[in-house]
Amino acid sequence: MDYEPSSGDSIRIKTEKGVYSGIVMPRHAFSRDDILLIKLDSGYNIGVPISEIKDMDILEKAEKRSKSSRYVPKGRGPKIGLISTGGTIASYVDYRTGAVHPAVTSEELLFSVPELADIADIDAKVLFSVLSEDMEPRYWTYMAEEAGKALNSGKEGVIIAHGTDTMGYSAAALSFALSNLTGPVVFVGSQRSSDRPSSDATMNLLSAARVAASDLGEVAVVMHGETGDEYCLIHRGTRVRKMHTSRRDAFVSPNSKPIGRATPDGVELNGHRKRSKGAVEVRPDFEEKVALIYAYPGMEESVLDSMLSDSKGAVIAGTGLGHIKSSLIDTVRAHIKDGKSIVMTSQCLYGTVNMNVYSTGRDLIKAGVISGGDMLPETAYVKLSWALANLDEGIGAFMKKNIAGELGEARYL
Amino acid sequence: MDYEPSSGDSIRIKTEKGVYSGIVMPRHAFSRDDILLIKLDSGYNIGVPISEIKDMDILEKAEKRSKSSRYVPKGRGPKIGLISTGGTIASYVDYRTGAVHPAVTSEELLFSVPELADIADIDAKVLFSVLSEDMEPRYWTYMAEEAGKALNSGKEGVIIAHGTDTMGYSAAALSFALSNLTGPVVFVGSQRSSDRPSSDATMNLLSAARVAASDLGEVAVVMHGETGDEYCLIHRGTRVRKMHTSRRDAFVSPNSKPIGRATPDGVELNGHRKRSKGAVEVRPDFEEKVALIYAYPGMEESVLDSMLSDSKGAVIAGTGLGHIKSSLIDTVRAHIKDGKSIVMTSQCLYGTVNMNVYSTGRDLIKAGVISGGDMLPETAYVKLSWALANLDEGIGAFMKKNIAGELGEARYL
């Protein structure tokens, strides 16, 4: 092949497998020299081995196409900040290994979804590039600071592109770190990378942009609402959980209803908090020494004790209405006497903790365990981490108070 | 009130709140002297303060009623063993405190559901009386031995009355401990004690009896299938999970379909394993030093290390497709080199682990982590506990092999 196509060129190629037309994608850190990455008109990306290309037509050179704003998006509409943090939505497939790697620049992300420019005037920034599973509380701090700064400097909303594994934790974190929200902070991710035909990246990102431009004054997660491409659901940041390893509609709101639906064409909101006036308050600190402990029949006193010893506080995902083995209560009591805050949630995930029904629960209350009500274990963990870093006293009362929609009414505290 | 009614008497009482007729319940450890417990004709139990009783008619004395078998059940039909282990289904409300306490005798359980005698010839036994949250691997051993003995001594099926908190763990345990099942081993519990109008105890127990008399050759859990009293679902013992703290239809089979439905009138089975011939093989040992570890963003190396140090093996409920923070992989690798078995599952609960997609997953595979496929974290934990107690080698291969329906086909091992 004589011609070396440039990023942004509109081309048509012929291979043994068929004819494809689309726009040449930019090269990135993991690009392979002998693979041409093309964004098809369908919105999906494919990697074609250059050796298999039999014929190629340049439909339009990038320079000439620049005015059409299809590949160098020049948005119109509300100013939205796009903060890229890593994850599949900002990833490329390494065609040598089949592995997925994070994209390095926000331009790559923007380029892959040029339709964003039709919805908003996007100001994109790669804050960091961290796999979802590698997120730690300090990244919550960075994201909270960045989102607060964006809203307080005139952005109408913020989109945070994030890996899906721990997106629920991060969304809960920003729900507590940011208050008096003057605009939406919208987490978005994708379950399938944009190189795959079944990718949800484009629709999720466009829907998230609609939500970021809406009247919402909360932290939310926007992801596919069903297995097709019909709509995305808008989940409250403190109520959302990834409940499937791979389905596009993996995110659900246990014990709560999503606060709306979105598509690339618009938004419907329901029971949401609206934008506040004034400035966003940012209190971005989190205590790192908090444990999330799953109760199980064989849990030994020594294991529980060492987890609690290493922590300033802990959330237990107990069984049923909020129980642990009664033989472990002494250990819990001792750590609470030492000044640690221990919160009970349920590994059932649905329903609410109620430690008044059975003797074990009442003994836990007497030992000073704080009821997590109907909070998700993950949300309670994040909330406790925030509370320990920001409050000098009253941790128990704070955990039992509804701060950001994380607690429902049908609860027994 | 001059007359002291006896257990089993059919009576009618008048109070300010209305007229009630039913059968006098036996007294038990937590009975209050000034409360009369009556099983109403509706099947529900009430406790009436004796001081509020204005009038009482004895409709039939217990001695005369004995031939009708309504309160001293004399069953007909298949011989079924009923093993009582504790939990709400075998509980009484202490009317002084409102607390629920375990029943002390199987007779109390049998008496409260006399209709059992219409379904089967029940041989009841209180094996122990342990709250669900207090179950430990050694109790799995006792239950497995008792269930195996019952089937091998001529019982056509076994019902195990068990608390709901950890019923899923116990059902999984017996699924591995018992093989070549010549009859059903049916766990049953109740989410609301039999003293409450909304109790599910009677219907669950009668439905379980139908399943215990069926052609099933598996360990199953029988609980309400919806919020009404329409039907119970029959869940495979290795696939079932309590997913709501209080609803009567709290039990579901993630990644799997229930293997049937049951009512007090009959059973429908689907895709189940049938009764085997010969004798049940009982291998009831479990290793107690196994940890179930929930991954979370702030997990520190020292916490993971101490949990693994205390264990002979561990199951991790990782994020997404089966991930932990990449900074923790060295710790995992070190413990695997020390000879420990570490299995990866997903805290998503739905879907399957696939450690081939992302770099973190592939690093975990290289470190020797065993994929748990689409097994529930709790089931993988129980299976590993069994494997470590019963196998000298080949733990990894065993964990990846479908033994009792715990692994589906759509998995990446």
pLDDT of residue B71: 42
Mean pLDDT of chain B: 88
Domain assignment present for residue B185? The answer is: yes
Band of the pLDDT at B70, cuts 50, 70, 90? Answer: very low
B107 in any annotated domain = yes
Do A123 and A166 have their domain in common? yes
Is 50 exceeded by the pLDDT of residue B85?
yes
Whether the CB-CB separation of A82 and A125 falls below 8 Å is answered with yes
Looking at residue A203, its pLDDT comes to 94
Q: Give me the CATH number covering residue A212.
A: 3.40.50.1170
pLDDT > 70? residue B77:
yes
Q: According to the model, what pLDDT value does residue A86 have?
A: 83
Quick: pLDDT tens for A138-191.
999 999 999 999 999 999 999 999 999 999 999 999 999 999 999 999 999 998
Q: Phi/psi of residue B317, each to 5°?
A: -95, 90
Q: Which of A169, A292, A349 sits opposite B243 (nearest CB)?
A: A349
Residues 152-181 of chain A whose Cβ lies under 8 A from any Cβ of chain B: 163-166, 169-170
HSE-up of residue B161 (Cα within 13 Å, Cβ side): 41
Q: Based on the domain organization, do B232 and B248 belong to the same domain?
A: yes
Average pLDDT over residues B305-333: 97
Tens-digit pLDDT profile for residues A201-223: 889 999 999 999 999 999 999 99
Range with the poorest average pLDDT among A264-268, B198-202, B258-262: B198-202
Same domain, yes or no, for B259 and B315?
A: no
B56/B104 same-domain check: no
Torsion of the alpha carbons at B383, B386, B392 and B393, rounded to the nearest 10? 0
Q: Cβ contacts (< 8 Å) between B244 and chain A: which residues?
A: 348, 350-351
Q: Does A352 touch chain B (CB under 8 A)?
A: yes
* B353 and B220 assigned to the same domain: no
Q: Are residues A53 and A18 in the same domain?
A: yes
Within the 297-336 window of chain A, which residues sit less than 8 Å (CB to CB) from chain B?
297-300, 302-303, 306-307, 310-311, 317-327
B139, B275: one domain? yes
Q: Confirm or reject contact between B408 and chain A (CB < 8 A).
A: no
pLDDT at A2: 52
* CA dist., res. A409 & res. A254, Å (int): 14
The per-residue pLDDT for B245 is: 96
Kind of pairing, strands A10-15 and A55-60?
A: antiparallel
Residue A73 belongs to some domain of the structure: no
Res. A8: pLDDT tops 80: no
Residue A346 with chain B: CB contacts under 8 Å: 245
Q: Over 50: is that where the pLDDT of A70 sits?
A: no
Q: Residues 77 to 106 of A: which have CB under 8 A from any B CB?
A: 98-101
Any domain includes B74: no
Write down the pLDDT at residue A217: 98
DSSP B51: G
Nearest CB to B246 within list A302, A310, A351: A351
Contact yes or no for B297 and A326 at CB 8 A: no
Instruction: Please tell me if residue B133 touches chain A, with a CB cutoff of 8 Å.
Output: yes
The larger pLDDT score, comparing residue A86 to residue A286, is at A286
Residue B371: what pLDDT? 97
Q: Is the ipTM of this complex over 0.90?
A: no
Q: What is the CATH number of the domain that holds B364?
A: 3.40.50.40
Task: Give the pLDDT of residue B205.
Answer: 93
Residue B381's pLDDT is 98
Question: What's the CA gap between A78 and A154, in Å, rounded?
Answer: 10
Residue A257 included in any domain:
yes
**Residues B353 and B242 both lie in one domain:** no
Q: Please name which of A369, A354, A399 lies closest in space to residue A308, comparing C-alpha atoms.
A: A369
**Residue in A closest to B137 by C-alpha:** A298
Out of A45-54, A75-84, A144-153, A334-343, pick the least confident.
Answer: A45-54
Q: What is the mean pLDDT of chain A?
A: 88
Residue B285 has pLDDT above 90, yes or no: yes
The answer to whether residue B174 is domain-embedded is yes
Among B46-55, B76-85, B137-146, the range scoring the smallest mean pLDDT is B46-55
User: In the listed set B48, B68, B88, which residue is the last one of a domain according to the structure?
Assistant: B68
Query: Could you read off the pLDDT of B243-276 as tens digits, one per residue?
Result: 999 999 999 999 999 999 999 999 999 999 999 9
Nearest to B348 among A101, A245, A381 (CB): A245
Set of chain A residues whose Cβ sits within 8 Å of the Cβ of B298: 136-137, 286, 288-290, 381, 385
At residue A380, φ and ψ (nearest 5 deg) are: -65, -40
Same-domain status, B260 and B303: no
B1 pLDDT higher than 50: no
Structural domain span for residue B22:
10-68
Distance CA A289, CA B300 (A): 8
Q: Give residue B42's pLDDT band: very low, low, confident or very high (50, 70, 90).
A: low
- Predicted confidence (pLDDT) at residue B204 exceeds the cutoff of 60: yes
Size of interface A-B (CB pairs under 8 A): 211
Which of B252, B282, B312 is the last residue before a domain boundary? B282
The answer to whether residue A95 scores a pLDDT higher than 60 is: no
pLDDT tens digits, residue range B311-324? 999 999 999 999 99
The pLDDT confidence band at residue B63, using thresholds 50, 70 and 90, is: low
Q: What is the pTM of this model?
A: 0.85
Q: How far apart are CA B78 and CA B298, in angstroms?
A: 55
Does the structure show a pLDDT above 70 at A309? yes
Residue in A60, A134, A27, A204 with CA at minimum distance from that of residue B328: A134
A345 classed as catalytic: no
A409 pLDDT band, cuts 50/70/90, is low
CA atoms of A74 and B337, how far apart (whole Å): 54
| B388 close contact with A: CB closer than 8 A | no
Contact B159, B205 (CB under 8 A): yes
Task: Give the per-residue pLDDT at B102.
Answer: 59
The confidence band for A94, taking pLDDT boundaries of 50, 70 and 90, is low
What does DSSP say about strands B121-126 and B55-60: parallel, antiparallel, or unpaired?
unpaired
- Asked if residue A3 belongs to a domain, the reply is no
pLDDT of res. B26: 63
Q: What pLDDT does residue A105 have?
A: 66
Domain count for chain A: 3
Continuous segment of H or E residues that includes residue B137: helix B137-152
**Whether the Cβ atoms of residue B158 and residue B220 lie closer than 8 Å to each other:** no
Instruction: Report the percentage of chain A scoring pLDDT > 90.
Output: 66
DSSP B361: H
Residue A38 banded pLDDT, cuts 50, 70, 90: confident
What is the per-residue pLDDT for B199? 82
Question: In b/e form, how buried is each residue of B267-291, taking b as 16+ CB within 10 angstroms?
Answer: bebeebeebeeeebebebbbbbbbb
pLDDT at B354 over 60: yes
Phi-psi domain of B141 (left: phi exceeds 0; alpha: psi -120 through 50; beta: other): alpha
The predicted model gives A193-202 an average pLDDT of: 78
Which residue in B has a C-alpha nearest to residue A136's C-alpha? B297
Residue A71 has pLDDT above 50, yes or no: no
State whether B231 and B167 are in the same domain.
yes
Domain end marker among A282, A300, A324: A282
- Chain B contacts of A348, Cβ < 8 Å? 242-245, 250
Contacts of B406 (CB under 8 A, 6+ apart): B172, B175, B238, B239, B375, B376, B379, B380, B383
Confidence of residue B281 (pLDDT cuts 50, 70, 90): very high
Same domain, A112 and A225: yes
Closest chain B C-alpha to A3 CA, distance in angstroms: 33
B363-373 pLDDT, tens per residue?
Answer: 999 999 999 99
What was the pLDDT predicted at B306? 94
A131 touching chain B per CB within 8 A: yes
Determine the residue of chain A that is closest to B286 in CA distance: A298
d(CA A398, CA A387): 8
The answer to whether residues B174 and B258 belong to one domain is yes
Q: Which of A62-71, A177-186, A349-358, B215-224 has the lowest mean pLDDT?
A: A62-71
User: Could you tell me the pLDDT band of residue B31, with boundaries at 50, 70 and 90?
Assistant: low
